[in-house]
Amino acid sequence: MSMKNCPKCGTEVHFDDDICHACGTNVPIVVPWPAYLIGGFLVVVLVFWAVDWTYWADYFSRL
Ligand SMILES: [Zn+2]
């Protein structure tokens, strides 16, 4: 799926282009929802990876 249709004239537009070459209509780039899911997942993984868990385990064991 690398092409999308212009909402005004129906011409096929490459998914990377945001303007229809036939009529000049602005065609918004469609971001598929799994991309948000993967992006959010990567952020969570990055946070878990960045946190020093041995420090927090030590901190809470002293309470
Ligand atoms: Zn068009």
Both 38 and 59 in one domain: the answer is yes
Both 17 and 36 in one domain: the answer is no
How do residues 43-60 score in pLDDT, each as one tens digit?
Answer: 999 998 998 888 989 999
Both 36 and 18 in one domain: the answer is no
**Domain range enclosing 11:** 1-30
Ligand 1 center from residue 36 Cα (angstroms): 27
Residues with CB under 5 A from ligand 1 (ion): 6, 8-9, 11, 20, 22-23, 25
Percent of the chain with pLDDT over 70: 98
Amino acid at 22: A
- If one counts the domains in the chain, the total is 2
Query: What is the reported pTM?
Result: 0.44
Both 10 and 38 in one domain: the answer is no
Ligand 1 center from residue 56 Cα (angstroms): 56
For tokens 């282009």, the residue is: 17
> CA 50, 53, 56: angle at the middle one, nearest 5?
125
- Mean pLDDT per 10-residue interval, the chain, length 63 residues: 88 90 89 88 94 90 88
Both 5 and 16 in one domain: the answer is yes
